[in-house]
Chains A and B, each alone.
Chain A
C-alpha cells in the first residue's frame, strides 16, 4: 500500500466523520435556535398565562392548553384506532397470510407510508369530512375525529412493520410449546406470540405517537382549527386546533420579534421536547432491533 492510498483512506474517513457529526450538530443548532427565539416569550408575556384556556393572539391571550389538549386528543384517538389495526395487520401478515400474500402485502404497506400528507389532507377535506358530516349529522366534518382517522392511517404502516418485526423475533420454540399443549393457532397467537412481542409493540406505539404528534399538514387541513378547549366528550366530533397547525397557520402572518412570534417558537420548543422524549422512550427497543438485523 502506498502512502497516497493511506492518505486517501484518512481523507475519506475524515470527511465522513465531519458529515456524520454535522447532522448531530444541526439538530443541536436547531434546538438552540428554537431556544433563542422562544425564550423571549417568557419575558414578553407572563408565562403563567401559557396555562390559560384561551388562545387569542390578537387580544394578547396566549393560553396554550387548548392547543396542547387538541394535539393530545387527536394523537391519542389516532393511536387508539391505529394500534388494534396495526397489531391485527402485523399478526395477519406474519402469522396467518400464505407466503405469496405476505410478499404482496409487505411492500404495499411500505408504499402506503410514502403517500404525501397533503394528498391525504386533500382526501380528508373532500371525501372523508363530508362523509362524516352526513353520516354522523355534524355541523362540520372538519373535526378532531377526522384528523385522528387520517393520522391513524398515516401511523399504520410504521406501526405495522415494527409490530411485525417484533412478532418475527418471537422464538419459534414458544409457539411450539403452546401448540404441543393443544393450543389452537389463535390461542398461540394471542396468548403467546403477541404478549412475547409486547416490547416491540410498545415501540410501535411510541413511533406512532411521535408521527401523529408532529404531523402538520393533515391536521391543518381537516381538523377545523378552532382553538377551543376539548373538555366535553363530543369535542372529538368538533373542530380542534393542534400545536403544529397553530405554528403553521400563524407563523406566516406574525411580525418578527413580536410577543406572538416568540410564543409560536415556544410552542415549537414544547413540541420538540415532547417528541424527543417519546423517541427517547422508544430508543432502547429500536437500537436492540438494529443490532439484530435492522428495521425492515
Chain B
C-alpha cells in the first residue's frame, strides 16, 4: 500500500537547485533505502518528507508530497502534526542532556501532556520496542549521554517511537556506530517494518541490500533508478547505477 507519493519534487537552497523532478511512491510496512554519492541530495530529500528543511532560511520546495493522499505542503497541513506522524532519527545519536526517561517522555509530554501512568507505560513500551528496556530499566533517571553510542541511537529511536509515528526517516543511522551496534539497529528495523513505513539513507551498499525492500539511487539531485532492492543490486537497468553499486563511480 502506498504511504507517501512524491510527485515532481524540485528543491532549492536559495537559487541553488538540489533536487530535480523527483517522483516516487513509498510503500507502507516496507523499508525503502536511498543510496547515492555524497552531496547528491539524499538528506535533503529525506528532510523534505517531514519538512525539516522549513527551518533553513531560503530553502524552498516545489511539487507535491502526498502522505495518505494529503499534500504535506498544503496550507491546512500543521507542520508539528506532520512531524509527529513522520518521525526522524539522525546520523549522530542526539539524545537530550536529560535522563533516559525524560528523553523518551519528551514527545508524549509536549504533544498531549500525557498523564503520568500512561506515560510510564509508554516509555517502557518504547524502550522494549528497541530492546533497550532490560539494559536501562534500573537507570531510567541516569543522564542519557552516559549510555554507549549504540544505546544512545536506540534511545533516539525509542524517543521517536514514543510519539507513535506512522513513518520513520533515518539518515545514515549507523554511521557513528560499530559493526555490532549496526547489526542491532538493522535487526530492529526488520522488526519495526511490520508496523511502520521506514525510509533510510545509507552509504553502506551491503546495508541497503540487507535490510531494504526497495532502493532508490540518487545522482546529482536526480532519482536515476528506483526498484526492488534485488533488482537494483542484481540487474540494474541503468549503467550509472551499476557503476555506483559495483564501486566504479561515486
Contact = CB atoms under 8 A, between A and B. Distances in A.
Contact of A181 (B55, B95, B97, B107): B107
Nearest to A98: B57
Contacts of B15: none
Contact of A180 (B81, B87, B95, B97): B87
Interface string A171-203: 101101111111110010001100110000000
Contact of B80 (A171, A183, A192): A183
What range describes how many residues of B lie at the interface? 20 to 34
Nearest to A199: B97
A184 B83 CA distance: 10
Nearest to A192: B96
What range describes how many residues of A lie at the interface? 10 to 19
A182 B107 contact: yes
Contact of B94 (A171, A182, A184): A171
Nearest to B162: A181
B110 interface: yes
A177 B90 CA distance: 8
Contact of B52 (A174, A180, A184, A192): A180
Given A176-B52, A177-B156, A183 B94 contact: no
Interface string B93-112: 01111100000001101110
B102 to A, nearest CB: 9
A179 B55 contact: yes
Contacts of B50: 180
B90 A181 contact: no
Contact of B96 (A174, A179, A187): A174
B163 A181 contact: yes
Given A173-B90, A173-B94, A181 B106 contact: yes
B19 interface: no
Contact of A174 (B87, B94, B107, B163): B94
A176 B110 contact: no
Given A173-B94, A177-B94, A182 B84 contact: yes
Contacts of A174: 94, 96-97
A149 B28 CA distance: 60
Contact of A176 (B90, B95, B98, B107): B90
Contacts of A177: 90, 94-96, 156, 159
Interface of A: 171, 173-174, 176-184, 187, 191-192, 195-196
13 contacts: A173-B94, A174-B94, A178-B96, A179-B52, A179-B55, A180-B50, A180-B87, A180-B88, A182-B80, A182-B163, A183-B107, A191-B110, A196-B97
Interface of B: 50, 52, 55, 80-84, 87-88, 90, 92, 94-98, 106-107, 109-111, 156, 159-160, 163
